[in-house]
Amino acid sequence: MPPNHYDVIVLGGGTMGTAAAWELGKRGVKALVLERFRHVHAFGSHGGKTRVIRHAYAEGEDYVPIVRRADDLWLALEQERGEQILVRTGGLDLAAPGYGYARAARRSAETHGLPFEWLDPVEARRRWPVWQIPDDWEACFHPMTGYLLVDPALRALADAARGLGVAIHDEEPAREWGASPDGVWVRTDRATYRADHLIVTTGAWAGEALAPLGIPFTAVRKTLWWLALDNPDAFAPDRFPVFISESDAGSIYGFPSHGDGMLKVANHYGGEVTTPDEADRTTRDAEKRAVVPFATRLLRGVTDRVATSTVCLYEMTPDQDFIVDRHPELPRVVIGAGFSGHGFKFAPAIGEHLAMLALDPSVAPYPRFRIDRFAGRAVEPYQPDRVASHGRYRDLVAG
Q: Dump pLDDT digits (tens) for 76-109.
A: 999 999 999 999 999 999 999 999 999 999 999 9
For residue 284, the model assigns a pLDDT of: 95
For residue 1, the model assigns a pLDDT of: 59
DSSP 95: E
Residue type, 382: Y
The count of residues in the chain is 399
Tell me the C-alpha distance between 265 and 263, whole Å. Answer: 6
Distance of CA 91 to the CA centre of its chain: 17
For residue 268, the model assigns a pLDDT of: 96
Q: H helices within 8-89, ranges in order?
A: 15-26, 64-81
Residues of the chain with confidence (pLDDT) below 50: 398-399
Instruction: Please say whether the beta carbons of 372 and 42 come within 8 A.
Output: no
Tell me the C-alpha distance between 77 and 336, whole Å. Answer: 21
Tell me the C-alpha distance between 259 and 76, whole Å. Answer: 24
Any idea of the CA torsion for 46, 52, 55, 56, to the nearest 10 degrees?
-120
Instruction: Specify whether domain 89-146+218-314 bears CATH 3.50.90.10.
Output: no
For residue 399, the model assigns a pLDDT of: 43
Instruction: Please say whether the beta carbons of 16 and 45 come within 8 A.
Output: no
pTM of this prediction exceeds 0.85: yes
The end-to-end CA distance of the chain, in Å, is: 60
Q: What is the DSSP string of 114-138?
A: ---EEE-HHHHHHHSTTB---TT-E
Superfamily assignment of 5-46+151-216+318-390 in CATH? FAD/NAD(P)-binding domain (3.50.50.60)
Determine whether 82 is exposed, middle or buried from the number of CB atoms within 10 Å of its CB (0-12, 13-18, 19+): exposed
∠ CA 112-113-119, rounded to 5°: 115
For residue 388, the model assigns a pLDDT of: 67
For residue 398, the model assigns a pLDDT of: 44
In terms of Cα–Cα distance, which of 106, 108, 140 is closest to 123?
140
For residue 110, the model assigns a pLDDT of: 98
Instruction: Please say whether the beta carbons of 204 and 14 come within 8 A.
Output: no
List every span in the chain annotated with CATH 3.30.9.10. 89-146+218-314
For residue 253, the model assigns a pLDDT of: 98
List every span in the chain annotated with CATH 3.50.50.60. 5-46+151-216+318-390
Tell me the C-alpha distance between 179 and 387, whole Å. Answer: 37
Tell me the C-alpha distance between 356 and 110, whole Å. Answer: 30
Tell me the C-alpha distance between 123 and 146, whole Å. Answer: 21
**175-211: pLDDT as tens digits:** 999 999 999 999 999 999 999 999 999 999 999 999 9
